[in-house]
Structure 1
Amino acid sequence: MDIMILQNVVWGAVRKRLSQGALALLFALAVLLAALPTVRPAGAATPLETAMDAVLVVRSNDAEDRFLGSAFLWGDAAQVAVTNAHVVGTATEVRLVNRHGAEEVGTVIGLDPVRDVAVIAVAPGRAGLVAAPDPAALGLEVFALGAPLGLEFTLTEGLISATARQVEVQVPLKMLQHDAAVNPGSSGGPLVDASGRLVGMNSQIADGSRMFVGIAYAIAAPDLDRIVTGLIDETLLPLPKLGLTARPVDRQVAEALGVDAAGLLVDGTESGGLAAAAGLAAGDIILAVNGTALAEPGTFAFLIEAAVEKGEAALTVRRGAETVTLPLAFAPPQTEAPALAIKTRDLSSLPANPETVKSYRLSALGVVLDEDAVVKAVTDNSPALFAGLARGDRILAVNGQDMDLAALNALEITGPVLLRVAAPGGATRHLYLDPWGKDGGLRPVGGANVLDPDVVVF
């Protein structure tokens, strides 16, 4: 007998024997049981807790022990961790710490600075994050895991706001936009769904303030899988540096030049670069690559990426009233060096080792103070800027010793010092300033792009 028929027969028999009140009671109990949450066995981890177990804090593997950002174990049987290229910088080794306090030193085995992905070899034997089976959809609930502002193993919640946002015109990636709160330090941390499956890797934040304003960007899991696999297998071709500066031909530019609003207007080329070798010049308008028109400015990067394997691309260029085709080679031309009479320098009189500066004053470190000992300016790329000193900070003490303006002006820095400073709002913090440090350290990085407002690597 069909099972559904049998169920109906049994239920009909039961109903004949039960009163209406008993039936109502049974129905109420069934609804109540259906509404009860699933009971998790004692000690069992939730999917998000399991995902957090795969998250790592990245620190420099040196005496400075600098906090660098976030990372996560990759794959169900992880042998590598993944983070952003800007997190590891030029380091060949980093220290990785999980939320249970276990530490290890990982070796950077793959780096793609343009796509901003780094792969770190780790000890095997642990479960990492596995990509969700389907691409992230608009409105999907997501969770950002990482160490925003150094607050280790933090989880924030948000929604996917856009599924294909090209953030930087020169980078062939369309990223996930979401509104889960991320801040400096979240870089390299995973973006997961409610089941703890990988959706993407948090990489950038919109707006030059460097702090979260409701828009964050993550490299989508499918792109991340392609890049990570290519870095591990050494099959991912690097994007060539063209030595080209260009801007979109928008309506205003098009009206001024009397052309259609399409393509990229060349601002300039780098001497000796690939673009200059191809014959591109300031004022040219790039219209197409290998016959495919630039539907939007960011298309150029994708078309160049697609042509890299062939080693060259044909550029359709408007030059004045003419349209020309220029061959763009992705390797510099090999030219035979002319025979030159090389004059060598006599180095015998030079000291065996360069002399090291033994002391600095704040002014020599690029710090300009006003009469209240408040920082008026900090020179770009100075050790003070790398240490975190910013305009508007008031220097209160050095190595625990209270300082006024006269003392600061007379200060001779002969070794690393600890500054106590007050921000304009009154909040105080300590900064470790080492003019002789071998690493540049972290500093705010900003820059506009032509597709979105300022997008800052954090």
Structure 2
Amino acid sequence: MSKRLFPARHPSILRQVAQVLGALVVLTIFAAIAPSKAKAATIAGAYDSVVILRSADNKNRFLGSGFVWGDGALVVTNDHVAGMAESIRIVDAKGMEHQGEVIGRDPVRDVAVISVPGLKAAPIPLGPLPAPGDEVWAIGAPLELGMTLTRGVISAHARQVEAAVPIRFLQHDAAVNPGSSGGPLLDSAGRLVGMNSRIADGSRYYVGISYAISADDLARIVGGLVDETLLPFPKLGLQLRPVTREIAAALGMEPKGVLIDRVYPGALAESAGLHAGDILVGAAGRDLETAGDLAFAIDAALGAGQMALRVIRGGQEIAVTLGFAPATSSVLALRGIEGAVLNRVSSYRFESLGLVLDDDARVTTVSENSPALFAGIIRSDIILAVNGKRLSAGDLRKLEITAPTLILLQRGGGATLHVMLDPWDTGEGIRAIGGANVLDPAIVVF
């Protein structure tokens, strides 16, 4: 015959056990909730140090995110967020607007520093390097939604995302999207461990892989920009590819180093005597296994102003010295003309902006790829007014446009609408960045 664990004549014992178990459950739940609430409060405290960046013009274009640094009057963000702007409108956590001036930028390392004299906010304390698996939190304004908090874990250390950039990123899986760039990455104690800078190349939106510049690299770069000791990363004028097993077999050598595809005329590499077909196997005393190794070798040698290279040419290893001082003559940069000062056109007429009008102020022609076409003007539109003023067709043809201009149009059926015609618009906004060549991902441009 079975026996009861607690005889029926002692019901008080059952009540006591139930009370003890209930107390244990409450304590367990409290123990789980209390740290979460404390953590949430700690993370939320960093919101006051995060800002939104907008263009300092009448377009008030959303640029991205940033956060307070140093004495509270500096803001740090990505260079691709600041773009070419010299002045930026800063919106703090309370919605107050401040005027900021860009005082330092590094387009290669992708960091910009903005001075905001009217901003007095506490910076986020720096934290130690997190380990893979550690929880992290990202704050920013993705897709212009306003301040947003997302959570993830550190996925990996030391990811070199672009071979020509001497930065090893923290990889994490907290969701970030265009607009999150420049926002802080925090650890569970609310300390700064990185600046969110990019997502996996090849996709404009978050696909589970996010990259942040580590707080250690950030402190070094920002400090160098502020005190003007950070040396700019040079453009060598080289196009490289790794020596794969297939290439090595064709050349009759071991798979090592990087092969020079192209040397740009007038660039530093040409001045050093490098040629297409050369194989770089060593730089600044280091063996080169990948093109990415070259970026870190250059970074380490910047202070010396030059770097020793080991080069295989015609099957023989030779020594080459690569100097970092720019050539005195004008040089075409790899992604445009650098150093050239372009005179800004001060005024335009409608015809030079791609518009031809008849005597009724009707648009008869809109040129392809013209500012007029990009503004949204189409054939058969009738210009009714410019900046609120009615003008004759003759006056419209002679009109000098010296600033972004508001144009009232009339379309078929009598519908009217306004468009902004801005010949000086750069078209810059939120944009993906990446150095990959979609035709040949192996190519690396220095």
1:177 aligns with 2:171: yes
User: Among residues 124, 145, 150, which one is paired with 1:129 in the alignment?
Assistant: 124
Deviation string, structure 1 residues 346-388 (Cα, Å, up to 9, x no partner): xxxxxxx9773321699779xxxxxxxxxxx985xx7589x7x
Check the 8 A contact 1:248/1:450 in 2, yes or no. no
Note the 1:384-399 alignment, pairs <5 A.
Answer: none
SS state at 1:276 partner: helix
CA 1:273–1:432: 2 relative to 1, 3 Å: farther
SS state at 2:199 partner: strand
How far 1:445 moved relative to its partner?
Answer: 5.2
Supply the distance in 2 between the matched residues of 1:120 and 1:355 (Cα, whole angstroms): 28
How far 1:434 moved relative to its partner?
Answer: 3.4
The aligned residue for residue 292 of structure 1 is 286
Supply the distance in 2 between the matched residues of 1:54 and 1:287 (Cα, whole angstroms): 46
User: Among residues 190, 193, 196, which one is paired with 2:190 in the alignment?
Assistant: 196
SS state at 1:87 partner: helix
CA 1:65–1:450: 2 relative to 1, 3 Å: closer
Check the 8 A contact 2:240/2:291 in 1, yes or no. no
Supply the distance in 2 between the matched residues of 1:171 and 1:330 (Cα, whole angstroms): 16
The aligned residue for residue 449 of structure 1 is 436
Give the aligned residue type for 2:281: L
User: Among residues 36, 47, 54, which one is paired with 2:49 in the alignment?
Assistant: 54
Give the aligned residue type for 1:253: I
Give the aligned residue type for 1:311: G
The aligned residue for residue 88 of structure 1 is 82
The aligned residue for residue 66 of structure 1 is 61
Note the 1:31-180 alignment, pairs <5 A.
Answer: 32-36=26-30, 37-38=33-34, 46-75=41-70, 77-123=71-117, 125-133=120-128, 135-180=129-174
SS state at 1:307 partner: helix
Check the 8 A contact 2:243/2:258 in 1, yes or no. yes
CA 1:360–1:153: 2 relative to 1, 3 Å: farther
1:269 aligns with 2:263: yes
1:224 aligns with 2:228: no
CA 1:453–1:183: 2 relative to 1, 3 Å: farther
Note the 1:323-334 alignment, pairs <5 A.
Answer: 323-332=317-326
Give the aligned residue type for 2:23: L
How far 1:439 moved relative to its partner?
Answer: 4.3
Supply the distance in 2 between the matched residues of 1:289 and 1:51 (Cα, whole angstroms): 42
Supply the distance in 2 between the matched residues of 1:256 and 1:40 (Cα, whole angstroms): 60
How far 1:255 moved relative to its partner?
Answer: 2.7
Deviation string, structure 1 residues 195-243 (Cα, Å, up to 9, x no partner): 3221211111223342222222111111111111121222222212212
1:317 aligns with 2:308: no
SS state at 2:290 partner: coil
CA 1:325–1:65: 2 relative to 1, 3 Å: same
Supply the distance in 1 between the matched residues of 2:407 and 2:24 (Cα, whole angstroms): 66
1:436 aligns with 2:423: yes
Supply the distance in 2 between the matched residues of 1:100 and 1:29 (Cα, whole angstroms): 42
Give the aligned residue type for 2:349: K
Q: What is the TM-score when the length of structure 2 is the normalising length?
A: 0.74
Supply the distance in 1 between the matched residues of 2:45 and 2:94 (Cα, whole angstroms): 12
Q: Which moved more, 1:86-95 or 1:110-119?
A: 86-95
Supply the distance in 1 between the matched residues of 2:67 and 2:208 (Cα, whole angstroms): 23
Q: What is the TM-score when the length of structure 1 is the normalising length?
A: 0.72
SS state at 2:34 partner: coil
How far 1:317 moved relative to its partner?
Answer: 0.5
SS state at 1:53 partner: helix
How far 1:307 moved relative to its partner?
Answer: 0.7
CA 1:177–1:450: 2 relative to 1, 3 Å: farther
Supply the distance in 2 between the matched residues of 1:417 and 1:444 (Cα, whole angstroms): 26
Check the 8 A contact 1:383/1:433 in 2, yes or no. no
The aligned residue for residue 276 of structure 2 is 282
Check the 8 A contact 1:312/1:327 in 2, yes or no. yes
The aligned residue for residue 341 of structure 1 is none
Q: Which moved more, 1:47-56 or 1:116-125?
A: 116-125
Deviation string, structure 1 residues 146-177 (Cα, Å, up to 9, x no partner): 11111111122222222111011110111012
How far 1:23 moved relative to its partner?
Answer: 7.7
How far 1:435 moved relative to its partner?
Answer: 3.3
CA 1:226–1:355: 2 relative to 1, 3 Å: closer
Supply the distance in 2 between the matched residues of 1:300 and 1:277 (Cα, whole angstroms): 18
Instruction: List gaps (5 residues or longer) in structure 2.
Output: 1-11, 330-343, 357-366, 383-396, 410-416
How far 1:327 moved relative to its partner?
Answer: 0.7
Supply the distance in 2 between the matched residues of 1:297 and 1:322 (Cα, whole angstroms): 20
CA 1:214–1:143: 2 relative to 1, 3 Å: same
How far 1:105 moved relative to its partner?
Answer: 0.9
Q: Which moved more, 1:355-364 or 1:106-115?
A: 355-364
Supply the distance in 1 between the matched residues of 2:250 and 2:353 (Cα, whole angstroms): 49
SS state at 2:221 partner: helix
SS state at 1:437 partner: coil
How far 1:31 moved relative to its partner?
Answer: 5.3
1:235 aligns with 2:229: yes
Instruction: List gaps (5 residues or longer) in structure 1.
Output: 1-17, 336-352, 366-376, 390-394, 421-429
Give the aligned residue type for 1:157: R
Give the aligned residue type for 1:442: G
Check the 8 A contact 1:57/1:98 in 2, yes or no. yes
Supply the distance in 1 between the matched residues of 2:272 and 2:242 (Cα, whole angstroms): 20
Note the 1:330-369 alignment, pairs <5 A.
Answer: 330-332=324-326, 356-359=347-350
Q: Which moved more, 1:106-115 or 1:27-36?
A: 27-36
Q: Which moved more, 1:147-156 or 1:19-28?
A: 19-28
Supply the distance in 1 between the matched residues of 2:36 and 2:322 (Cα, whole angstroms): 61
CA 1:39–1:155: 2 relative to 1, 3 Å: closer
CA 1:419–1:253: 2 relative to 1, 3 Å: farther
How far 1:40 moved relative to its partner?
Answer: 10
How far 1:270 moved relative to its partner?
Answer: 2.2
Give the aligned residue type for 1:54: S
Supply the distance in 1 between the matched residues of 2:134 and 2:44 (Cα, whole angstroms): 19
